[in-house]
């Protein structure tokens, strides 16, 4: 069985206005690389930012109980995921 892990990714994004915005996002993924790809996709679609405008400062694996996002905690507490 595969284990889903929770990652907290912190960094900075340069917006179209030229301003920089700090972020801290929690994502569930199998590997660190998958979480980073999901982050680039998410921020790129939300802010129309290119990958070169997103600077990653830290990626840390956290326990599901430490997640601040209630969505992540609820998702990982499920025993069976129904499609």
CB-count burial class (<10 Å; 0-12, 13-18, 19+) for 25: middle
- Ramachandran angles phi, psi of 39, nearest 5°: -65, -50
Q: What are the pLDDT digits (tens) for 21-73?
A: 999 999 999 999 999 999 999 999 999 999 999 999 999 999 988 889 888 87
Which domains does the chain carry? 5-77 (3.10.20.10)
Pick from 39, 13, 41, 14: which is nearest to 27 by CA? Answer: 39
Q: Please tell me the distance from the alpha carbon of residue 62 to that of residue 40, in angstroms, as a whole number.
A: 20
Is the entire prediction scored with pTM above 0.75?
Answer: yes
In the structure, what pLDDT confidence band is assigned to residue 1 with cuts at 50, 70 and 90? very low
């Amino acid at each position: 069985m595969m284990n889903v892990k929770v990652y907290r990714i912190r960094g900075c994004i340069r917006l179209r206005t030229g301003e920089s915005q700090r972020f801290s996002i929690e994502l569930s993924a199998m590997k660190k690389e998958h979480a980073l790809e999901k982050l680039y996709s998410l921020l790129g679609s939300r802010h129309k930012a290119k990958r070169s405008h997103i600077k990653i400062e830290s990626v840390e694996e956290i326990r599901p109980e430490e997640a601040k996002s209630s969505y992540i905690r609820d998702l990982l507490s499920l025993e069976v995921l129904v499609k």
